């Protein structure tokens, strides 16, 4: 069975997403924010690949690439981020994907992420909870809007902060 058939909710995320990442301390103080463009793609029947482009107002940019492996109904990340992503079968509304991951370049740091996709498929909200040595380190709130299913036209393009949609 093809990956899109095994993970139908995840397949609804395919395409280009743009939005904002906002980082907060455990006390609720904003630490940082930046715009984002994510390319979520299924380049073949059994492959999921994600590339994240981050843009700060001061001109800084960062690109993170996440090729994956598939194990059953889980996506496995194996780069500087190691962990998994899976649909939540207890969600009767089929809106929720959960992730667990660690950054291999930082000691004793792990994150849990919840992604909620709107029923219309145009919006998603994500929450990261970062834990260091078992204690909450920070939270990241991510608000995104679907741009297009045509991720291929966004590959290998150079964008800037002002090129990312504002909403």
Please choose, from the candidates 126, 130, 137, the residue with its C-alpha nearest in 3D space to the C-alpha of residue 38: 126
Indicate the DSSP class of residue 166: P
φ, ψ dihedrals at 2, nearest 5°: -65, 155
pLDDT digits (tens, 9 = 90+) for 114-140: 999 999 999 999 999 999 999 999 999
The token duo for 25 is 């301390």
Written as six digits, the tokens of 28 are 């609720």
Residue with tokens 């991510």: 142
| The model's pTM | 0.92
Whole-angstrom distance, CA of residue 76 vs CA of residue 57: 32
Is 1 a residue whose pLDDT tops 80? no
Q: Please give the CATH superfamily to which domain 3-163 belongs.
A: Calycin beta-barrel core domain (2.40.128.20)
- Where in the chain are the domains? 3-163
Give percent above pLDDT 70 in the chain.
Answer: 96
Q: Is the pLDDT of residue 102 over 70?
A: yes
Q: Tell me how far apart the alpha carbons of residues 146 and 17 are, in angstroms, rounded to a whole number.
A: 5
């Amino acid at each position: 069975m093809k990956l899109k058939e095994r993970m139908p909710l995840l397949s609804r995320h395919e395409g280009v997403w743009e939005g904002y990442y906002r980082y907060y301390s455990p006390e609720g103080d904003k630490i940082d924010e930046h715009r984002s463009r994510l390319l979520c793609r299924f380049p073949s029947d059994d492959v999921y690949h994600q590339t994240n482009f981050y843009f700060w107002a001061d001109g800084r940019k960062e690109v993170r690439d996440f090729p994956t492996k598939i194990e059953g109904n889980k996506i496995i990340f194996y780069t500087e981020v190691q962990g998994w992503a899976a649909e939540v079968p207890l969600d009767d509304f089929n809106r929720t994907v959960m992730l667990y991951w660690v950054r291999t370049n930082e000691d004793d740091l792990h994150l849990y992420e919840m992604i909620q996709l709107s029923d219309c498929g145009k919006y998603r909200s994500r929450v990261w909870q970062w834990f260091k040595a078992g204690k909450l380190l920070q939270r990241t709130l991510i608000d995104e809007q679907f741009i297009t299913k045509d991720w291929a036209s966004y590959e290998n393009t150079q964008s800037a902060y002002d090129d990312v949609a504002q909403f």
